[in-house]
Structure formats: C-alpha cells, structure tokens
Structure 1
Amino acid sequence: MSFTALARLKKRRLLVRWLFTFPSEQYSKHTYISENALLPGQVNTYYGWQQVFDATAYRDRIKSMSNSSNIEKINYIEGELRRAGLKTATQNFTAISSGKVISGINVFGVLSSPRTDGTEALVLSAPWRSKDGVTTNINGIAAALSLGKFFKSTDYTYWSKDIIILITDGGEVGVQAWLESYHDHKQSGIEASPLFLRSGAIQAAINLDFPGTSNYKALGLFFEGLNGQLPNLDLINTVVRVCRMSSNIPIMLRDSGRCYTHYDSGDYQSSFYNLITFMKYQALGHPTGSHGLFFRYKIDAITLYGQVDASIGNSYGFFEIGSLFPFLFVVYALELWGTTSDDETDLIPNSNHVQSSSPLNNETNVQSSSPLNNETNVQSSSPLNNETNVQSSSPLNNETNASTPLAYLRRPREILMPVAALVISHFAGFIIFFVVKNHFKFSQISSIFGIDGYLFTLAITTNISIIATLSPSPDWVILKSFILAFTAMIISCLSVLNFSLAVFISIIVVIPFSLFQPSTYEMIRYLELIVLVLISPPGILIISKINLEEFLRWTIMEYELLGSYFLPFICCLYWPIILVYVVIIFSPIK
C-alpha cells in the first residue's frame, strides 16, 4: 500500500473515532432556555383534584366504549368538547396505500383566546391509538378532554393564543389529513373533507400518548420528525425544566430505558445509545410520533409518551400530567418563537446536555471530500497511452539532447461507456422504484424483493456484457472517477438535508469505494462483490434482521401519504451507485 493510500485510510479511521467523542460531556454544553422565552416554573397552575376526577370519569367512559363503533366514539368526544364550551368540528378522510384502505374521523375543538383576535394558536393532540398501533390511548384522550374543559372553565385571561384540542384517527395519516386541510395545502393522495372551523397560525403542538389506564414511571420525549426534521431546542428544554422543577417527573429520551432525574446526566453508554438512536430515526426519516408531521408547516412539536416499564420507584398519574400542561401552554403562548436561537439541528445525548451538529457536519464534509481526493488520485495515476517524454534539440548546434518529461499531456478519454453505465444503472433504479410503489398489495409485497433483485441482476449483466465485448476495452478509471465525484456530491448535499443519513452513507461506502478496483485475481473480485452486496439495501436489511414486509409497508406508506424521500433516495441514488461499482470490479483491465 502506498504512502498516500495509507494516509487516507488513517484519516478515515480518525474521523470514525471522532464520532465516538460526541457523547462525552467534555464536548457538549449544558442545555439552556433562550433569553426570549419565559422562564419555566414562573407560572401558577390551578389544575386540581376536581380536574383529576373529570379525567378519571373520561377514562372510565372511553374504556367502556372499546367495543363501540367509531361514530359513537367520535360523537362522545365531540359532545364532551361542546359541553365544555369549545367550538367543535369533525373531519372524514380516506387514503389508499398499496391496496390498503386507511380511513377514519378526526374531531377537534377550538378554545378562542380572550386576549387576541385568533391569529395564532397552540395544538394539544391525542391519537386514538398509541405509537405501537395497537394499544388505545385511553389516558391521553382523557387528559386532553379534561385539559380542554379546564382551559375553558378558568376565569383567568392569560391565554394569548387560541388552543385547539385535536383527537386524531388512523395514526399519522389522520394528522396529515387534518394538517393539509387546515393549511389548505394538499400534498398527498389523502381524500379528506374540508374544515369549516379554523383558528390562527399554529405556533407549537404537543402530542399526548399515554396508553392504557395505569400510572406511569417516566415521561418519554419523542421529537424526531419526518425526513429528519427537528423542533426548536427551547421546546424540549422547557418540557425538561417544567417536569423537574414543578412536577418532579423523571425524563426518558424516547424509550431508551434510562430515566433522568434532577441533576442526573447519565453516563457515556446511555448518551452514546441516545445519539445512535437519534441518528437512526433521523436517517430513516421516520417520525417517532404524530408530532413529526407538523414540522413541514414550520410548527415546532413534540410527543410526550407515558413509560410504564421504567426502572424507578415513583409513579405519576393525571394530577402530574394535568399540572404539567398549564405551565407548558403559558410558556409556549408567551414564547417569541421567531427570535429564539436556531438550534433545530442540535444533538441531545442526555436531558442536561446538547451537542452542536456543526462538528458532525464538518466530519461529513471531510468524509465527502475523500472520494473527490481519491478521484483526483485515480485520474493522475492512470496509465498514459502516449509518450511522456520528448527529445529536445539545441537551436545553436542542432544537436539532440536527452529526453525531458512533459509538464502536461493531453490524452483522449473514452467517456461514452462510463456515461452509458451510469445511465443504465440509474434507469434500473427508477424501474425498481416504480415497481415498489405501484400496483402491489400488501399480500404481494414480499415478491417485490425478488423482482427488484432480478431487475438489478439484469442491469449488472447488461453493463458487464456490453463492456466485455468492446474492443478496445473501455477505461474503468473514468467510470470510477465519475462515480466517486457523484458520491461526494450526494454526501455533501445530503449533509444539509439529513446529516445523520449523510454520516451513515459516508461511513458505509467511502472506504470500499476508495479501495475497490478491478483485479487480475478472480477471488479478490468476488470478495469485493460480497462486500458490495452486504452494503447494498438488500444486504443491510438481511444483516439488520428487519421484517421485510413491515419495512416495505411503512416506507411505501410514508412516501405516498406523508411525503418521505427515503424510498426514492435508496432506489434512485444509493442502490445504483452500488450497481456501478459492481460493474467496475468486473471491468477488464487494460
């Protein structure tokens, strides 16, 4: 191995090791509340035991309606909101994703602010089903109804924004249908009835997910959104501060199992796990709750989830939940969201520390520059077809001197076949994308994998057979230079949109793409082929042991109904560059 190649390999190893320093407290800063935000804890709450009794009555009634029809449940929710004094409305929606029909009814009520003209609003939402899609969100809906009644019954006029109580059906599809109708901005194939009741521009949203009827041990915070979007950091910090200072509720980041109490920052292992989990959700572009769909409309949102199986002795119920939200809504109502610090891309290793994403973006940019550097080295090290020396003669005595090297040399480059290989590979990717998203029911979805494999194998054999029959054989160096530059461009652009996905892509492909090339030994070629198969989408799914049918179900649904770009990125960009490298390693050597 040359000195240059060894230096590049050591640089990449150093960059990968650098990632492991991010969870350390030495490289992060303490969380803080922006100077433009009202300090949490400076609000009096009047949520008492009468409201707890109301929430308990709602819980018992919702539990008894488990076998009732959706119409009866919606009528009950709408009737209770109307009796509390809120203006109410319902919305029917229907969506079809890969042959599966998703339908439901959303119901919501609007509490008009006594201090403003209704130009701004806050949303308190609760889905019918919990995030697992099976358990009924009984306590979450009961708490939302009790809070709606409490907000309306109070004689205090500190509400400076309207409050919308939203009960959604059909999971994320119901939230998407309501948001599209509310903003009159149809983006998906969801057919929904129009909304005849609206409020002002939504500034923030809190999603309640408290499944079951028992008490809870900790409060899980879910904040990752669709396509890797994140909320303002003040939104998360306010929840953490209020839970600790006022309600004394243990905090858990997602469902990590690690509870954070007052002045508890955890250890390196838990922080590392939190960062990896965060990067996984952001890279997949999968929203961790119904809140993740609000970010598209510039609305900061978060999901609060009741954790039952946390390893802690204390528990909390309706009183702590109800006491939490008057604090949060007063803070959010008075928050100057337009002037708060822009920390949307910060990483949260634990509840007390935050890590800026700027070093991570720098690391991604350095990783993306590696293919460009390697592309330059490949071009400069390729063999010349012409003579590199010329004979120089003296103008005085017409004697021929020794040959001298040229400063530069123009040489023709055959780019037709490299361009053809790129076009065929990406055309195969578009065909795979079309096959995946069209004309398949969920009962047939497993056969998509076999069809995609057949199309990809056909594209590989077509490329290799065309290249092998050409005379003279095309220069694989040009093809590798093209694909290295293309990979660097993808990683650089992706680091702006979804830096977690850019980091994973750079770690997976940079080293194989930089080192692999055609070899005279067949065994080396097939070893390189095995590595490329393992880092391809089918190989990654097999290694991770993910259920294929379930994975394809939610990726197709999120693309068709929610607008996720993960599926087209994998099919049309990532998978084709793997195919091109398979063509490179089987190219003939000049």
Structure 2
Amino acid sequence: MSLSTRLLTLRKSPILRRLPPYLSAICIAVGVAWLFVLPFNEYSRQTYVSENAILPGQVHTYFGGSEHNIFRAFRQEVYTLSQWDERDRNAALANILRENGLKVAMQPYSYAVAGEDITGTNVYGLLQGPRADATEAMVLMAAWRNFDGEINYSGVALALTLARYFKRWSIWSKDIFVLIPADSTYGPEAWVSAYHSTAADVTSSRNVSALPIKAGALQAAVALDYPVGPWGRRFDKLDILYDGINGALPNLDLLNTAVSVASGQMSIGCSIHGLISHSDSYKDRLTTLARGVITQGSGHATGPHSAFVPYHIDAITLKTVGDGWHDEMSLGRTTESVFRSINNLLEHLHQSFFFYILLNANRFVSIGNYLPAAMLIAGSFTITAMALWFQSGSALAKPATKIGSTDSKLDATEMEVVKLGGDVALVSKKAMETVERQMFLPAVAVLAVHLASFVPLYLLNSMHRQYLPVALETVTATSVILPAYLATILVRSSKASVQQMQLMQSFSLLLLGAALSTLATLNFSLAFVIGILASPLSFIRPLPKLSRKSSMQTADGKLKYALDLATRLPFVLVYSAVSPPVVLYALNWYWEKDIEWTLVEMAKGWAAQGVYTSFVVWSLWWPAWVIGGIAMFSGMLRPEA
C-alpha cells in the first residue's frame, strides 16, 4: 500500500476521529502543568548583567552628608505645598527646579474617562549634561501622588534633592529630566506620549499639551515611590515594579542593575510583586510567578514607570516597603548609582531579555521555557477546529464495527474493510465519502457575532461610571439569552445544517487559537489566562434534541421530557458559568473589589493608556463563547425527523 493511501486511510480512521477531544484535554493539562514546573532550578536561571559596559555598583557614591539636611528641608517644603491648591503648588515646584539650574516647563493634560474629565499638570525640568550632545536622556520621576493615591512626600523631596545634587557634577554624558507628574497614571502617560509626538499630533489627537522642552532619545526612567510624611520613616526593602502597559517589560539588565546596586552595594533587600518575605522556596517562587502572570495579564499600569515601557524606554519604580533601618540616604545613593550605571551606556539596552518571568529578584524564566505553556493552550483550540473541519466534510456514518461482530442491522454492501496497523474494521462507505462544504452562512454568522462584540466593548468603556454596573448587568443578561436566540434563528429560520454549525464553530475556534498563539509572543500572561478561561469551548458539542411533540401527550411523556430537560440543564449552567461577564463578577468577588471600581479601572486603561485587555475579552473571547453556545443549543432546536 502506497504512503498516500495509508495517509488517506489514517485520516478516515474511526479511531483517529475520536482522538481530538482527548488531545485537546491533554494540551490543556500539560499547558497548566508546565507552569508548575517552571519554579524548579532546571527550568529557571540566575539573573546576570549582559551589558558589560553598564558596570553596576562599580562607582563610589557621594550622596550623603549635607545632602541629608537639604532633603529634610525639601520634605518639609513638600509637606507645606501639599496644603496649597494645585496651581500654586505647581508654580512652587517649578520655581524650586529653576533655582537649582534646570530648564523648567509645565504640561497641562486632560482625559475623558468613564464620563468624567480628569485634569492635571506635569512639572518637569531638564538638566543638560555637561558632556552630553542632546541625543540621549534619562528620566528621574517622582509622582505627586503614588499609585495608591498617597502623597509622595519623601519621593518628591528626594527627586528635588537629587536634581540639585546632579547639577553639581560634570560626569553626565546624557541629559536628565526631573519629572513630577500630578499622579501615577495619567501624568506619565501624557508626558511620554507628548514627548514622542509633534505639536500638531498632540493638539489634534490627544487631550494633552505639547512639551515646550525636549531632548534626545530617552534611554531609561526611574521612578521613586516613598510616601512618608514630613517626619520620615525608615524602610526595610525596595519593591521593584517593572510591568508596563499591555504586559510590556523593560530590558532585564535594568532590573539586574537596580538589584545589584541595592543589594550588593547598599545592602538593601529587594522584593518582587510585594512578596517581602521570600524564602526562595518552591511555594514562594510559584506565588511570585502567579502574581507576575496576573499583573502582566491585566495589562494595566503598576506604577508611573508603566507608561514608558511601550515606547521602548526601559523603566522601573523603586518602592519602599516594610519598616527597617534603611533611610532616604540609602535610597538616594541607590538612585545615584543606577543613574551613573545608565550614564555609562554607549547604546540602548538590548543584550539582555525583554521577555521573562521573575521568580524572585535574582531568578527568572526565559521565554523559551514558559512560552510552550500558552502555545499548548492555544493549540487545543486549533486541534478541535481541525477536527470539526474534517467532520464537516464527511457524510454521516455508522460507527466502525469489528469483523466478526454480530449486528443484525449491518448491511455488508454499505460497509468497507479498513486495515489500520494490525486491526481490521468495517467502516461505512458513507464515512469514506466527502461532501461539499457550505461555508457562506457560517462565515457570515462568525463575522456578525464578532462585529456585535463591539457593542459591549463600547458600552463598558464609554459610559459614565455610575452606569457601568448597569451596563455590565445588561451585557450579562443579553449574553445568556443571545446564543439560544441566535441558534433559534439559524436552525428554524435559516435552516442551518449540522455541517454549517460545525463549520461555524470550527472558524471561531481556529480564529481564537491563532489569535492567542500570536498574543502569547507579546503578552504571554494574557494569552495564557484567556486560554484557560476559554478552554471549555473546545468540548462544547450540540445537545441532543428534545422530543417535544410526543413527550407532552401523556403523563409518562411529560415526565420523560422533564428528565431530558434536567439532563441538559447542567451543561447549560456550566456553559453560562464560564461566560466572560460571569467570570468577571467571580474574579471581582474573589479579590473583594467593588464592581464599579473594576469597570472604571478597565475604562481608564482603555481611554488613557491604550490597554487592549478589554478588546481581547469582549472581541475575542466573548464571540467564541457566543458561537459555542449557538452550536450547543442548535442540537436541541432541530425538528424531529
């Protein structure tokens, strides 16, 4: 038998036709298990600095002594400014930077989020490096309010102190921006977007003002988060925040530099994702990994640095945590050493990793080790889509029957002997035939559902914040009803066949699998989480139809009808439980967050920072879920033969 004949026989094997659901389940199970083995030493690596020129911790820092008195004076000044209105406060901050010899400017901005206008003003100054040629720059940032809404007293005071300190040195080969945004979300986004836009682009497309002062390409940014009041408080560790918008990550060398300087030169412990007491055990590594996946998967900003990362600017936030013996001078010397390390660079950071998952401050997993987990999840949808495609091209057939079995209904003229390996089976000749696929209606249905997905996407990102919970309730109720309603239209009115339902589900899962596998290379965590939540869609099949006419004539028939309905109800409930709106409610309940707060945060990310998590949920996952429901309900709605 030729190879082509064997492959054709294998393709039409009844055994092979039963494998796809098991293969999909295996891919999902292995994909989830893959993440649990990553914390082991065999699948992770110790961090190291790839760029030799950066020389972290190799310089002697001079920040200290009299600078401590300057810092305390600035901290008291910041506390006094916190009692003033925003306009006077910004003018005072600008005057302080100007007195320290920096070129100063202010940038007002405004964003419309959830029906409200959020306004603010960024104050920044430019320290021109004595040895710089205005082609490269660094950013020292301290938001007036940190990400938790607290006034960043010591952070702003330390930034002002460092600006004064840096001005006295002639070692800088790059310009330095000292940026004090009004908040940690909108301010940095307005500043960095305006920095990379022309004046015409800013005024026409964004609600932010153009920057009157610019310099060269931004190489790196470091934000300080030290919200301690005018009387000060020491800290225990530095929590390094690094996640950018839409899961973008800075070059790993910047994190390694900060960790090397803080822990090696200043003896300051470093933590990741707020896990302060990290014992480097398997449990702590897995906890850090899980927190990293959740944070990156959300795609939202985690600090003022997050807005810089999508612009290929390596940025981190140094956040003080705990109560220990380190003070502001330790943080100041750490910041000075990090900036002097960045100052050593002759080119942009590029040698180290841009895709990684941290297990602690000194250990990471590279993309080659963690990417297969998301790819296996995405592959499960592709396997099911291919199986449905092959089924749609085959005529309905009886199951294979081994030779020698006694089946009174078997018609030998309608059967064909198939030899696969050492097994011989009788297969219906009809199963060996192929039929023409009617793809127009399935393609139109899939396109229509995906276009309809823009309705919840628009409602949940454009309405006023007080109406967002009502909008989500409406979307939830509509989502429960819509699949059954569309299935009724397609089956009863459009006379959609079983083949067309298979094709529709195949197209949907194929699109979902392809999109998630592509997304995994950009935002692994989001692709993995959405893939896990959508994994039940690979196992949805049409439910058996109900014999309505015959079942309602007698009491026994009514009982049988009720039992049939009860057997199908669990499948419907499970299907509804894994819908995007219900999962959103469940996650919101688990994290003990107010639903309005969650929806407003999603609207913030969409409107102000271009976070595409909402798009993935409502325009990729939700359509696939609706189409899966249409296929499931279609079997129950078919008329009796």
Q: TM-score, normalised by structure 1?
A: 0.90
Q: Are residue 427 (structure 1) and residue 468 (structure 2) matched?
A: no
Q: 1:231 is matched by which residue type in structure 2?
A: P
What SS class does the counterpart of residue 127 from structure 1 fall into?
coil
Q: Deviations over 1:216-249 (max 9, x none)?
A: 1211110000011000000000000001121111
Q: Are residue 196 (structure 1) and residue 196 (structure 2) matched?
A: no
Q: Are residue 499 (structure 1) and residue 534 (structure 2) matched?
A: no
Instruction: Tell me the CA shift for residue 461 of structure 1.
Output: 4.0
Instruction: Tell me the CA shift for residue 281 of structure 1.
Output: 1.3
The answer for the alignment partner of 2:158 in structure 1 is 143
Q: Deviations over 1:460-516 (max 9, x none)?
A: 243122133148552132222222212211211211221111111222223x22222
Give me the whole-angstrom Cα distance separating, in 1, the residues matched to 2:290 and 2:397: 52
The answer for the alignment partner of 2:266 in structure 1 is 247
Q: 2:629 is matched by which residue type in structure 1?
A: V
Give me the whole-angstrom Cα distance separating, in 1, the residues matched to 2:21 and 2:209: 61
The answer for the alignment partner of 1:399 in structure 2 is none
The answer for the alignment partner of 1:554 in structure 2 is 601
What SS class does the counterpart of residue 442 from structure 2 fall into?
helix
Deviates more, 1:578-587 or 1:361-370: 361-370
Instruction: Tell me the CA shift for residue 528 of structure 1.
Output: 2.6
CA contact (8 A) 1:218 1:315 kept: no
Instruction: Tell me the CA shift for residue 190 of structure 1.
Output: 4.2
What SS class does the counterpart of residue 356 from structure 2 fall into?
coil
Residues 478/525 of structure 1: CA separation in 2 closer, same or farther (3 Å cut): farther
Percent of residue pairs bearing the same amino acid type? 29
Q: Kindly report which structure 2 residues correspond to 1:513-528, keeping only aligned pairs within 5 A, or say none.
A: 513-520=537-544, 521-528=564-571
Q: Deviations over 1:432-465 (max 9, x none)?
A: 2222233x22222221112323443453243122
Q: Kindly report which structure 2 residues correspond to 1:346-357, keeping only aligned pairs within 5 A, or say none.
A: 346-357=356-367
Residues 386/324 of structure 1: CA separation in 2 closer, same or farther (3 Å cut): closer
Q: Deviations over 1:254-302 (max 9, x none)?
A: 322325xxxxx61111111111111111111112111111122211000
Structure 1: runs of 5 or more not aligned: 260-264, 393-401
What SS class does the counterpart of residue 54 from structure 2 fall into?
coil
Give me the whole-angstrom Cα distance separating, in 1, the residues matched to 2:182 and 2:20: 58
Instruction: Tell me the CA shift for residue 6 of structure 1.
Output: 3.9
Q: Kindly report which structure 2 residues correspond to 1:172-211, keeping only aligned pairs within 5 A, or say none.
A: 172-184=185-197, 186=201, 190-211=206-227
Q: 2:250 is matched by which residue type in structure 1?
A: P
Q: 1:498 is matched by which residue type in structure 2?
A: N
CA contact (8 A) 2:512 2:620 kept: no
Q: Are residue 305 (structure 1) and residue 319 (structure 2) matched?
A: yes
What SS class does the counterpart of residue 274 from structure 1 fall into?
helix
What SS class does the counterpart of residue 103 from structure 1 fall into?
strand
Give me the whole-angstrom Cα distance separating, in 1, the residues matched to 2:28 and 2:328: 51
Instruction: Tell me the CA shift for residue 10 of structure 1.
Output: 3.7
CA contact (8 A) 1:125 1:167 kept: yes
Q: Are residue 258 (structure 1) and residue 272 (structure 2) matched?
A: no
Instruction: Tell me the CA shift for residue 526 of structure 1.
Output: 2.9
The answer for the alignment partner of 1:396 in structure 2 is none
Q: Are residue 215 (structure 1) and residue 238 (structure 2) matched?
A: no
Q: 1:116 is matched by which residue type in structure 2?
A: A
Among 140, 165, 168, the residue aligned to 1:153: 168
Give me the whole-angstrom Cα distance separating, in 2, the residues matched to 1:580 and 1:542: 21
The answer for the alignment partner of 1:397 in structure 2 is none
Residues 389/71 of structure 1: CA separation in 2 closer, same or farther (3 Å cut): farther
CA contact (8 A) 1:389 1:406 kept: no
Give me the whole-angstrom Cα distance separating, in 1, the residues matched to 2:205 and 2:106: 20
Q: 2:473 is matched by which residue type in structure 1?
A: G
Q: Are residue 484 (structure 1) and residue 527 (structure 2) matched?
A: no
Instruction: Tell me the CA shift for residue 389 of structure 1.
Output: 7.4
CA contact (8 A) 1:126 1:141 kept: yes
Give me the whole-angstrom Cα distance separating, in 1, the residues matched to 2:94 and 2:26: 63
Q: 2:504 is matched by which residue type in structure 1?
A: L
Q: Deviations over 1:312-342 (max 9, x none)?
A: xx32111101111221111111124446324
Instruction: Tell me the CA shift for residue 550 of structure 1.
Output: 0.8
Give me the whole-angstrom Cα distance separating, in 2, the residues matched to 1:32 and 1:91: 39
Q: Deviations over 1:45-104 (max 9, x none)?
A: 111121111111111121123221112211221121111111111111222212212111
Number of residue-to-residue matches in the alignment: 567
Residues 370/130 of structure 1: CA separation in 2 closer, same or farther (3 Å cut): same
Give me the whole-angstrom Cα distance separating, in 2, the residues matched to 1:118 and 1:403: 77
What SS class does the counterpart of residue 586 from structure 1 fall into?
helix
Q: 1:230 is matched by which residue type in structure 2?
A: L
The answer for the alignment partner of 1:13 in structure 2 is 29
Among 554, 562, 569, the residue aligned to 2:616: 569
The answer for the alignment partner of 1:37 in structure 2 is 53
The answer for the alignment partner of 1:279 in structure 2 is 293
Give me the whole-angstrom Cα distance separating, in 1, the residues matched to 2:494 and 2:156: 72
Q: Are residue 113 (structure 1) and residue 129 (structure 2) matched?
A: yes
Q: 1:582 is matched by which residue type in structure 2?
A: G
Q: Deviations over 1:2-59 (max 9, x none)?
A: 5664454344323321210112223211110114332212111111121111111111
Q: Are residue 445 (structure 1) and residue 468 (structure 2) matched?
A: yes
Q: Kindly report which structure 2 residues correspond to 1:70-109, keeping only aligned pairs within 5 A, or say none.
A: 70-109=86-125
Deviates more, 1:218-227 or 1:55-64: 55-64
The answer for the alignment partner of 2:11 in structure 1 is none
Residues 299/513 of structure 1: CA separation in 2 closer, same or farther (3 Å cut): same
Q: 2:470 is matched by which residue type in structure 1?
A: S
CA contact (8 A) 1:107 1:168 kept: yes
Q: Kindly report which structure 2 residues correspond to 1:378-397, keeping only aligned pairs within 5 A, or say none.
A: 378-381=388-391, 384-385=395-396
Q: Deviations over 1:380-429 (max 9, x none)?
A: 4566159997899xxxxxxxxx9995895331333344234323322321
Give me the whole-angstrom Cα distance separating, in 1, the residues matched to 2:579 and 2:427: 50
CA contact (8 A) 1:84 1:153 kept: no
CA contact (8 A) 1:36 1:336 kept: no
Instruction: Tell me the CA shift for residue 192 of structure 1.
Output: 2.4
CA contact (8 A) 1:87 1:111 kept: yes
CA contact (8 A) 2:71 2:158 kept: yes
CA contact (8 A) 2:23 2:383 kept: no
Structure 2: runs of 5 or more not aligned: 1-14, 399-411, 417-425, 545-563
Structure of greater Rg: 2
Deviates more, 1:194-203 or 1:120-129: 194-203
Give me the whole-angstrom Cα distance separating, in 1, the residues matched to 2:61 and 2:427: 91
Instruction: Tell me the CA shift for residue 566 of structure 1.
Output: 1.3
CA contact (8 A) 2:25 2:380 kept: no
Give me the whole-angstrom Cα distance separating, in 2, the residues matched to 1:453 and 1:363: 30
Q: Are residue 127 (structure 1) and residue 143 (structure 2) matched?
A: yes
Q: 1:574 is matched by which residue type in structure 2?
A: W
What SS class does the counterpart of residue 130 from structure 1 fall into?
coil
The answer for the alignment partner of 2:386 in structure 1 is 376
Give me the whole-angstrom Cα distance separating, in 2, the residues matched to 1:57 and 1:471: 77
CA RMSD of aligned residues (A): 2.7
Q: 2:575 is matched by which residue type in structure 1?
A: L
Among 312, 317, 321, the residue aligned to 2:331: 321
CA contact (8 A) 1:428 1:455 kept: no
CA contact (8 A) 2:237 2:276 kept: no
Q: 1:182 is matched by which residue type in structure 2?
A: Y
